[in-house]
Every structure is written in C-alpha cells, then in structure tokens.
Amino acid sequence: MKILDKYILKTFLRPFIATFLIVLFVLVMQVLWQTFENIAGKGISLPFILKFLYYTTLIITPQALPIAVLLSSIMALGTLGENYEFAAAKSAGISLQRLVKPLVFLTIILSAINFLFLNNVYPYAMLKQKNLYLNIKKKKPAMALVPGSFNSDIPGYQIKFDEKYGEEENLLKNVLIYDLSSNKGNQKVITAEHGKIISEEGSRYMTFILYNGYYYEEHVKSVTSVIKRKKMAASNATFDEYEFNIDISDVSGTDDLDKEKYKKSFMMLSLNQLKDTIPDLKASYDEVLALKAKNIYSSMYANDLYKYPDSIITENIKPIILDNFELKEKISIVNSAATKTDRSLSSLKNSIDSIKIKRKFLNLFDTEFYNRIAFSLSCLILFFIGAPLGSIIRKGGFGLPMILAIAIYVLYFFGNTFGKNMAEESSISSFLGSWIAVFIMVPLDILLVRRATRDKGIFNIDAFIQPITNFFKKIIPKKSTKL
C-alpha cells in the first residue's frame, strides 16, 4: 500500500470511529429513553438491562454505520481541502478519483459488513430484544398500562384511563374498562372517576379498586334469535367503591426473561427465511381473494350464463336485453339485480378490513426483504455524496459537515421511511417503496461527483445570473457620453 493511500485512510478512519461511536451512543440512548418507563422499577437486575442494551446496540449498528460514513467522508475530504492538500495533490498530477480510490474500497467493505449485519445479526438481536422487552413488561403488568389509550395486554379486558399517578404510579384517573372475558363481545362496561391497582409480585391476580363509578352489564344468554336477544334484561348501577380481581397468570410471573415466545416477526427472519415465507403468504392471500371471487360468482348465478351458438339466435331478440321484456318483468329483473349487487357489496365491505390486514401483513414481509438489500447499499450511496461534498466545501471539523450530514441523512431516511409506508399500504410496489430512497440519492451522487471532479461549486450562481444580466443589457440602451 502506498504512503498516500495510508494517509487518506488514516484521515478517514479517525473521524469515522469517533462519529460512529457518538451516533451509536445517541441512538441507543434514544431507544433506552423510550423504553425506560417499562424497565425502571420492575426489579430487573443490572445484567438483564445490560443485555437489553447489548441487543439494542446490535440493532442500531446498521443505522449508525451509514451516518458515520457520510459524516466522516465530508470531514475527511473537507479537511484535505481546507489544508490545501487537494491543491498539492492536483499540482503533482493526482486526480480526485485517485485520492478517494482507497476510501471507495473501504466503503464497499463497510457496505458488505452492513449487509451481513442486516441479514444475520439484526434478526437475531431483534428476536432476543423483543422477547426480553415483552418479558420485562409482563413481570409487572400494572406498570405496563399506558395512560391515554386502550391497553389490551391483559387478556379479556380493554382498559383506558387518563392519568396514572402516586408514588407507585398505581392510582388512576377517569377509568374505563371493557370486560370481554366472557368471549361474547362487549357486554360489561365499568367507568369510574378514580381507581387503584394492587398487584404483588408473584401473585396471579391484579386487584382493581374503583371509586365513584358506573356499572353496566347485558345479560345475554345463548340464544340464536336476534329478537329474543334484544329482549334480554340488562343491569346497571352506580357505586361508591367497587373491587374485583383479574387473573393475570397468563401474562405475569415470567421468571425466565430469556424465554422466546415470539419468533415469526418479519424483523426476526433472515433474507433466506423471508424468501421462503413470502410465497406461502402470497398463496394464502391469493386463496382468500379467489374464494371471495368464487362466492360472488356463485351468488350472482354467473355459472348459469353461457353463449348461444350464432345459428340458433332468434332474429327477433333486441340487442338491449331489457327491451325484450314487459314493464313488470323489467322492474322485477332490475330489483333482483339491485338486491344481489347490494348483497355482494355488503359482503365485500364486511371482509375488506380482513383482506387489507392480510395484504398489509404480506407487504411487511415483502418490503422488509427488499429494504434489507437496498439499505445495505446506504454506506456506498452516502459516501458518494459525502466525499465530493467535502471536497467542494473544503471545510473540516464538526461544524458545517455535521449540519450537511444531518440534512442529507434526514432526506435519505425520510425517503426510505416514506417509501416503506406507501409499500405497506399497497400504494406502490414493495420493490419501489424499498428502493425509492436510492433512486432519489443516486442522481444527487452523480451531480456532486461531476461537479467535484470538474472543481466546481455546488451551484454555479453565475450560470443563472449572467443570462439575466445580458437580457437587461440588451433592452436598456447605454447612455451616450459627450466630451
């Protein structure tokens, strides 16, 4: 390896290691801050918290690596330009392409490492972290209840409250509870102004004590007639204090925090596993659509429709079918068609939500497969933005390069997230949604590389101003000067 290559690599690796560790620390702390409420105060030992941070670090690494490459490339090339080392290299006949050649090879290696992380380490870490996090939440279910939204972590109940307060955060305000434990729908509703949760570690029951509330229950028996069901009595009452127990044995008492219960999430599978899973999901989705189409086809009696040979077609039959019937028959036909159409539309409306959920579930796996491949190229794509940008601005340090790196990565991350969301909602294909950020950044790569190799600025302001100036010079006559 030549001395110049060693020097270029050394100039790049110093800020790369520093920025990678800083970005990784910031992103891990952000995740820890978001999950701190579900971890703190649950009697979780320090080794398990450190294990959670370890898995989180592995998950965040593929995101931190492209940011570090982008920022360090801007800083390294900007420092070389700021110290006039570019000018010295060009005077010696060394082009910009030759200077960044070792960095290109290094970035390709980093992209390969990023791909290996995304394909092997990321699914493993996601599996471990997700199961560890859920087991920690279940260690004290009362602490997992979140104010402001319905909580369904406890089977058979939907619990909502506005505020959780007190030293142990077990006091509730404006409580609403739907009791679904009978598996017959929402038959029991309890509201209260205030409430209290009593839950001892190791106990299979969680006790709710509610104050100043209202209780309503429908006494629905096992009858099939809708008319009889409507006649069944319902009871309601107000109370000053109401106490009841909820069995939480299915979600609490998890001593083994390493227990792996959730293994089939799309984020927990490698590319080969995703590739094997997607065809099965696609076949299942197509089967649902085919079955629904077959039901509509049968309900319309479409199988009774068939073509007559031309040789037996009656000449007196009019081209418009309804014109061949009397008025009463026309009305009967139209009403029958309208009824069957409404029935089919109603059937579609009832099943459209389940079809959308099944399609979105398929899209999640499909998008994840393409996104793993596309995102593994992010190091290479962002390097070809950072390197020419650094040589153009000729500014090192953490000031301007940091601002530019954040702005560029936000654009890349927004494009990637926007594309994934659209693909998950079936607005665009999974391939396009995963690669849309790449399609946005590659033209910017080409533009910056061309301008950097030609030793031009980011924008040539004279190219815009000069035509305007020439235009005004032509229409405004020059004043003649008399001697």
- Residue pLDDT tens, the chain, 483 long: 578 778 888 888 888 998 899 989 988 888 878 776 656 555 566 777 788 888 889 999 998 999 889 888 888 888 877 777 777 877 777 777 788 888 889 999 999 999 999 999 998 888 888 877 777 666 655 656 778 777 776 777 788 888 888 777 778 888 888 887 776 656 788 899 988 888 766 567 778 889 988 888 776 554 455 555 555 566 778 888 888 887 776 555 444 555 556 667 788 888 888 888 888 888 888 888 888 777 777 776 666 655 655 555 556 677 777 777 778 888 887 888 888 788 778 777 777 777 888 888 888 888 889 989 988 888 898 888 888 888 887 776 666 667 777 888 888 888 888 888 888 888 888 888 889 988 988 888 888 888 777 766 655 545 445 666 676 677 765 544 444
Instruction: Retrieve residue 246's tokens.
Output: 């909820």
Q: Are 344 and 256 in contact (CB under 8 A)?
A: no
Neighbours of 205 (CB within 10 A): 14
Q: What is the DSSP string of 184-207?
A: SSS-EEEEEEEEEEE--TT-SEEE
What kind and span of H or E run contains 136? helix 122-139
Residues 443, 420, 406: CA angle, nearest 5 degrees? 55
Is the dihedral angle over the CA atoms 117, 120, 121, 122 positive or is it negative? positive
CA dist 126 and 118 (Å) reads 11
Instruction: Retrieve residue 35's tokens.
Output: 């999950």
pTM > 0.75: no
Average pLDDT score, the chain: 77
Q: What is the DSSP string of 137-161?
A: HHHSHHHH--TTS-B--STTEEEE-
CA dist 456 and 462 (Å) reads 12
Residues 84, 86, 88: CA angle, nearest 5 degrees? 75
Neighbours of 338 (CB within 10 A): 10
Which single residue is written with the structure tokens 């204090």?
241
Which single residue is written with the structure tokens 């670090």?
57
Which single residue is written with the structure tokens 């089967």?
287
Q: Give the pLDDT of residue 38.
A: 59
CA dist 110 and 416 (Å) reads 20
Burial tier of 399 (Cβ tally within 10 Å: 0-12, 13-18, 19+): exposed
Q: Are 204 and 249 in contact (CB under 8 A)?
A: yes
Q: Are 61 and 120 in contact (CB under 8 A)?
A: no
